[in-house]
A and B are shown apart, each in its own frame.
Chain A
């Protein structure tokens, strides 16, 4: 069913938002910890899993010795450590960027919750009828 499918997609996105919130909080928590490097959640692995599911990205193998595109099967969200250094103590957290990312993430999360709620409302309308 269309609605239930989009609910599960939205749920995945909610997981992403929660994960991102966690990473941003830990960046803010470690804003003055020596040698801490800023972390960020990346969507890359999720995208790759989606591609591997849709069978769109197959390598054309004309010889059995050709290598297929290796696609990871993990659903985990990748974490990147940035290499730039900003501070004398080896810390690379940019607090302003983290705060704005957090605000953005909050809005994103609110939008997702709003969409899920309206999906459930549509289901309810379908079940009860428009009484």
Chain B
């Protein structure tokens, strides 16, 4: 019974991480100096969360019929799509031709991702609440 609560809480952690990453992307939507590579500033690259179900890596659990299928973030990767070039010769980071490399962050996409994370979070809170209610009801047996 506690397993289902653990599963839901792993998902809550996951959704919170997605929210953090989306916030970081939005915060850095205009950051042209994210890291210094060979003496040159590189624009911020959009971050993405890689998620997989917990039992995917642990087949032993499945063999034992202990289906503990939470969700886990296996890493945060950079979006490799090229950054867009904007013509702005007055910008301090403009190249010789007057173009500035802007981060490959699409605000609309981040907002969608954030909304999706919020909704998933809500769904998992509901699931957690349901598990808790069932547990509380079970404790009432014999009262």
In the bound complex, residues from chain A placing their C-beta under 8 Å from that of B140 are 113, 117
B130 neighbours in A (Cβ, 8 Å):
21, 102-103, 105-106
B69 contact from A39, A76, A103, A120, Cβ within 8 A: A39
Contact B53 A33 (CB under 8 A): yes
CB distance from A42 to the nearest CB of B (A): 13
Given contacts A21-B130, A117-B143, 17 further A-B contacts (CB under 8 A): A21-B131, A21-B134, A22-B1, A25-B4, A25-B124, A28-B8, A28-B123, A29-B8, A33-B53, A95-B123, A99-B123, A103-B130, A105-B130, A106-B134, A110-B134, A113-B138, A117-B142
Find the B residue at minimum CB distance from A41.
Answer: B67
- Are A23 and B67 in touch, CB under 8 angstroms? yes
As a 0/1 sequence over residues 3 to 26 of chain B, the CB contacts with chain A under 8 angstroms (1 = contact) are 111011011001000000000000
Contact partner, B4, options A18, A31, A103, Cβ 8 Å = A18
| Cβ-closest chain B residue relative to A36 | B53
Kindly list chain A residues whose C-beta atoms are within 8 Å of the C-beta of B123. Answer: 28, 31, 95, 99
CB <8 Å contact, A29 and B70: yes
Within 8 A of B (CB), among A81-116: 95, 99, 102-103, 105-106, 109-110, 113, 116
**1/0 contact trace for A13-38 toward B, CB 8 Å?**
01001100111111011111110100
- Chain B nearest CB, measured from A20 CB (Å): 9
Q: Is A46 an interface residue (CB 8 A)?
A: no
| Contact (Cβ within 8 A) A30 B127 | no
- Count of A-B residue pairs with CB < 8 Å: 98
- Report the interface size class on chain B: 35 or more
Closest-by-CB residue of B relative to A18 is: B1
Taking beta carbons and an 8 Å cutoff, which residues of A are in contact with B?
14, 17-18, 21-26, 28-34, 36, 39, 76, 79, 95, 99, 102-103, 105-106, 109-110, 113, 116-117, 120
CB-CB under 8 A for A30 and B65, given A14-B138, A25-B8: no
Contacts of B53 in A (CB 8 A): 26, 29-30, 33, 36
Q: In whole angstroms, how far apart are the Cα atoms of A34 and B142 in the complex?
A: 44
Report yes or no: A29 in contact with B7, Cβ–Cβ below 8 A: yes
Chain B residues with CB below 8 A from A31, complex form: 120, 123
Contact A102 B137 (CB under 8 A): no
Q: Cβ of A116: which chain B residues have Cβ within 8 Å of it?
A: 141
Contact code string B50-93 (vs A, CB < 8 Å = 1, else 0): 01110000000000010111110000000000000000000000
